[in-house]
Amino acid sequence: MKKKIGLISLDSSTAKWIYEKLRISSQGGMAAQDFQEGLEDLLNGAVDSLMLELDETETPVLQSNHLLVCGALSIDPRFRKVIREGAEIPLTPKEFDILWFLARNRGEIFTKEQIYKAVWEGEYMLDDSNIMAFIRKLRKKIEPNPDAPEYILTIWGIGYKFNDRI
């Protein structure tokens, strides 16, 4: 999987606190400087969202490789296995990556472009049918009834989310 996209909602007081901590820190390094500049733009109203990308040499702070259990579905990222009601569900590497991305961000709504950028290398190819086809195949494999999905939900006009109520 190419990128891991995590979303953090910040209120202005939290953003100011993080900004001050980074400013005071003498060990911040280049990534901290970039983040500080981005927060500054966010606080000044120059931008309304901030997306940061880690270098390949950097390790994400919150890296989860633990088994994820969602209802009858168990997702194990270490062995790249998905099990439903005791039976392993064979997934292609990309299907697994999409499922893992959505499941570990349960409840978050992602556009097709965000899903694409999180899983594939290269630029987004303005072709939504690619993501839709993968979601359709995933639903056929993991959903008890693919026509009435319980796990991967469509948010009309926006994209998809993994059900956070399971």
φ and ψ of 82, to 5 deg? -125, 130
More confident residue, 166 or 80: 80
Helix boundaries (H) for 25-163: 29-44, 93-104, 112-119, 128-142
pLDDT tens figures, 52-83: 665 554 444 334 567 899 999 999 998 999 99
pLDDT at 121: 72
More confident residue, 153 or 34: 153
pLDDT tens figures, 91-138: 999 999 999 999 999 999 999 989 988 888 766 666 667 899 999 999
Q: Do 101 and 52 have their domain in common?
A: no
Question: Cβ(1)–Cβ(120) under 8 Å?
Answer: no
As for how many domains the chain has, the answer is 2
On average, the pLDDT of the chain sits at: 79
CATH number of the domain enclosing 127: 1.10.10.10
Q: Do 104 and 158 have their domain in common?
A: yes
DSSP one-letter code for 91: -
Q: Do 107 and 158 have their domain in common?
A: yes
Strand order of the β-sheet with 159-162 is: 110-111, 159-162, 152-155
C-alpha distance across the termini of the chain, in Å: 25
Give the rounded percent of residues in the chain with a pLDDT score beyond 70: 66
pLDDT at 11: 65
Residue 72 lies in a domain: no
Q: Do 54 and 109 have their domain in common?
A: no
pLDDT at 41: 77
Residue 142 lies in a domain: yes
Q: Do 153 and 97 have their domain in common?
A: yes
Residue 71 lies in a domain: no
DSSP letters spanning 108-147: --EEHHHHHHHHSSS---S-HHHHHHHHHHHHHHH-SSTT
Burial class (CB in 10 A: 0-12, 13-18, 19+), 141: middle
**Domain range holding 48?**
11-61
Q: Do 44 and 98 have their domain in common?
A: no
